[in-house]
């Protein structure tokens, strides 16, 4: 056998020997794959704009409330559209899952504007983007919604419910927050959750005081930094360079959201009715709902959305699987913790995509 034939193998093992012992093989393989197939999210300008143009032309929303879209043009049969939570942007929300999602097909990300928000406009943008994805790829997307993004997805489905069918292949909800009562229990004198206390001032006024803005920024920063302090876990998840990049992007997003942008996001949440108020099935596509084992820093104990999904979810989603994600060997999984507990969420998500591709979705996925 010639030396040239062995060269790729020798180069691979030489690279393995250069890896720090604190960086596990899966991290090495992921980062190496990213270098060999660099494809960071790129700005995407949609061609289909009929719905959003109608909202803007009628004066029901402004350009400052328009979300931005990013795209990764991967091969594969199943496109995925990601909706993030309040923060960070959706591109950072699934940072460690991107490589796995990319194996299924192209990725699209909807990132909310920093200086405004319109529930009607974002739903119109979803209408347009889902239509364009179908035209470009000949396939309806899987919509992957995280926290507040889950509420947006429910609202979009609610507005489309009178139609004969919803143009999606599958739905994934991660720790969905879909109404104010998910964060602050009704008649509660003082919110019991950290996030509820941060958002309460926005619910009583059209414009929140500057102290409330700074407090909410501090809360979101603290929530991110709490995960980043778990250095033992991070050694198995991120390289030092990745953590620095991710931290800078997340904190930049937190500080970029203005007082008006924050108020309008919270007002949008306030306008969303509880899932229990919906009388009709919202979608017949396979649906996966994943909660974390430790949601109490964010979700109120009596969260109506969680109660509805766990006890009567198939009323709205006939093909529903609902699970709680745990981490038996380490720190408990926190609300929507796809950055620091992505490896715990991944098996359920991967099985869901396998079921979609094979046509054998199981409710106990």
Whether 37 maps to a domain, the answer reads: no
Whether 1 maps to a domain, the answer reads: no
For residue 106, the enclosing domain spans 44-358
> What confidence tens digit (pLDDT) does each residue in 271-289 have?
999 998 776 789 999 999 9
> What confidence tens digit (pLDDT) does each residue in 213-265 have?
888 888 888 777 766 555 555 555 677 777 777 788 888 888 899 989 989 99
User: Which residues is 320 bridged to in the sheet?
Assistant: 287
Whether 266 maps to a domain, the answer reads: yes
Whether 95 maps to a domain, the answer reads: yes
Residue 289, classed as helix, strand or coil, is strand
In this structure, what token pair is assigned to residue 327?
Answer: 């981490």
Whether 57 maps to a domain, the answer reads: yes
Whether 140 maps to a domain, the answer reads: yes
Domains identified in the chain, total number = 1
Whether 251 maps to a domain, the answer reads: yes
User: Which residue has 């995960």 as its token pair?
Assistant: 227
**Gap between the terminal Cα atoms of the chain:** 46
Whether 22 maps to a domain, the answer reads: no
Beta carbons of 317 and 305 less than 8 angstroms apart: no
pTM over 0.85: yes
Please give the pLDDT value at position 29: 45
CATH number at residue 164: 3.40.50.1820
Q: What is the mean pLDDT of residues 74-95?
A: 93
Cα 152–Cα 54–Cα 179 angle in degrees, nearest 5: 15
d(CA 17, CA 30) in angstroms, rounded, equals: 16
Please give the pLDDT value at position 172: 98
Contacts of 176 (CB under 8 A, 6+ apart): 145, 147, 150, 151, 153, 154, 182, 289, 305, 306, 309
């Amino acid at each position: 056998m010639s030396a040239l034939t062995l060269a790729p193998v020798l180069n691979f093992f030489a690279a393995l020997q250069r890896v720090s012992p604190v960086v596990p093989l899966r991290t090495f393989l992921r980062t190496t794959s990213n270098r060999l197939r660099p494809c960071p999210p790129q700005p995407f300008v949609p061609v289909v704009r009929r719905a959003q143009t109608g909202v803007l032309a009628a004066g029901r929303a402004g350009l400052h409330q328009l979300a931005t879209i990013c795209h990764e043009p991967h091969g594969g049969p199943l496109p995925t559209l990601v909706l993030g939570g309040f923060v960070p942007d959706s591109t950072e929300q699934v940072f460690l899952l991107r490589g796995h999602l990319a194996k299924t097909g192209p990725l699209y990300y909807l990132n909310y504007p920093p200086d405004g928000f319109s529930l009607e406009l974002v739903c119109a943008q979803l209408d347009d983007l889902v239509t364009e994805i179908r035209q470009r790829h000949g396939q309806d997307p899987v919509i992957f919604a995280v926290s507040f993004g889950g509420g947006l997805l429910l609202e979009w489905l609610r507005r489309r419910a009178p139609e004969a069918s919803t143009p999606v292949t599958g739905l994934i909800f991660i720790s969905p927050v879909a109404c104010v009562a998910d964060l602050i229990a009704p008649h509660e004198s003082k919110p019991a959750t950290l996030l509820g206390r941060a958002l309460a001032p926005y619910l009583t006024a059209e414009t929140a005081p500057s102290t409330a803005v700074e407090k909410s920024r501090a809360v979101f920063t603290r929530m991110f930094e709490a995960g980043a302090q778990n250095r033992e876990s991070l050694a198995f998840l991120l390289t030092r360079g990745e953590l620095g990049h991710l931290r800078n992007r997340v904190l930049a997003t937190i500080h970029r959201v203005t007082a008006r942008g924050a108020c309008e996001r919270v007002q949008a949440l306030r306008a969303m009715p509880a899932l229990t108020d919906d009388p009709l099935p919202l979608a017949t596509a396979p649906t996966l709902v994943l909660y974390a084992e430790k949601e109490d820093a964010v979700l109120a104990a009596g969260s109506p959305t969680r109660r509805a999904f766990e006890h009567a979810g198939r009323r709205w989603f006939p093909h529903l699987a609902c699970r709680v994600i745990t981490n038996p060997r380490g720190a408990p999984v926190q609300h929507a913790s796809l950055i620091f507990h992505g490896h715990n969420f991944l098996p359920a998500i991967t099985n869901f995509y396998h079921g979609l591709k094979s046509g054998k979705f199981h409710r106990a996925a």
